Amino acid sequence: MSRKILTLLATAILLPIGARAQTVDDIVAKWVQARGGMDKLKSVQTQRITLKLRGGMFEATIVQINKRPDKMRQEFILQGMAMVQSYDGKTGWQLNPFEGRRDAELLSEDDMKGLVEEADIDGPLVDYAGKGHKAELVGHDDVEGTDCYKIKLTLKNGDIRTIYLDTDSLMEIKMESQTMIRGAMQEGETYFGDYEKVDGIYEPFAIESGQKGNPDRQKLTVEKVEFNVPLDDSMFAMPVKH
């Protein structure tokens, strides 16, 4: 065996694990483990997150609830009124009293894209291949001074999510989105921070989101995360008209 090959082998052996070439599946597996582990994530059958949105002169409460396998309901509560958007696994609908609507209305396929994605209680990166998505590790990038793994996730519907994972903590700190809505590409970005462990799972308690490149982002504070609370399927179903 040549001296050059021996030198290369010795170098590879001496390199720390993190310095060796890693695949996207290696990174995703480490991210899942850092959040709490696959068994812990899969043990969550229902989830309820309560958030506060503060902006200018108003304060709103947002409540998002999920139930496996693919149900989601979100309530935006302001001054005693609640706008509701929901997806029951097949149908998306909304009830918007702020526009004077008394009855729920069906959402178009484009309008319920976000609901369908949010209905995945684990998020699209967990078991991405089994869901028909494609993931690619596209290297490293800097996010506000933090070195991150950069993962390009192409959803099965063609939309793209670029996910940035802190190389130290493995927590997700940013996600860029490219979503096709009525023939036009909409680009957004979301930042995550203030992670806390809830029943063995790390969850972000500070979220900022807005259009890509716009420094004026909506700031959300998570007040409570609850797992495995009793939820009836009827709360996701479109209500009957008055």
Q: Which fold has domain 20-236?
A: outer membrane lipoprotein receptor (LolB), chain A (2.50.20)
The conformation of residue 18, written as its DSSP 8-state character, comes to G
Q: How confident is the model at residue 15 (pLDDT cuts 50, 70, 90)?
A: very low
Q: Where are the domains of the chain?
A: 20-236
Q: What pLDDT score does 124 carry?
A: 96
Query: How would residue 1 be classed by pLDDT, with cut points 50, 70 and 90?
Result: low
Burial readout 167-180 (b: 16 or more C-beta within 10 A, e: otherwise)? eeebbbbbbbbbbe
- Percentage of residues in the chain having pLDDT higher than 70: 90
Q: Which residue has the tokens 């004026």?
A: 216
Higher pLDDT, 100 or 164: 164
Please count the other Cβ atoms lying within 10 Å of the Cβ belonging to residue 85: 22
Q: Residues 205-215: pLDDT tens digits?
A: 999 998 888 87
- Residue 215, pLDDT score: 79
Give the β-pairing of 71-78 and 58-67: antiparallel
2 pLDDT more than 60: no
Tokens of 148: 């991150």
Using an 8 Å Cβ cutoff, are 200 and 43 in contact? no
pLDDT digits (tens, 9 = 90+) for 18-67: 445 789 999 999 999 999 999 999 999 999 999 999 877 788 999 999 99
pLDDT per residue over 135-186, tens digit each? 999 999 999 999 999 999 999 999 999 999 999 999 999 999 999 988 899 9
More confidently predicted of 101 and 95: 95
Q: Record the pTM.
A: 0.87
Percent of the chain past pLDDT 90, that is, above it, reads 76
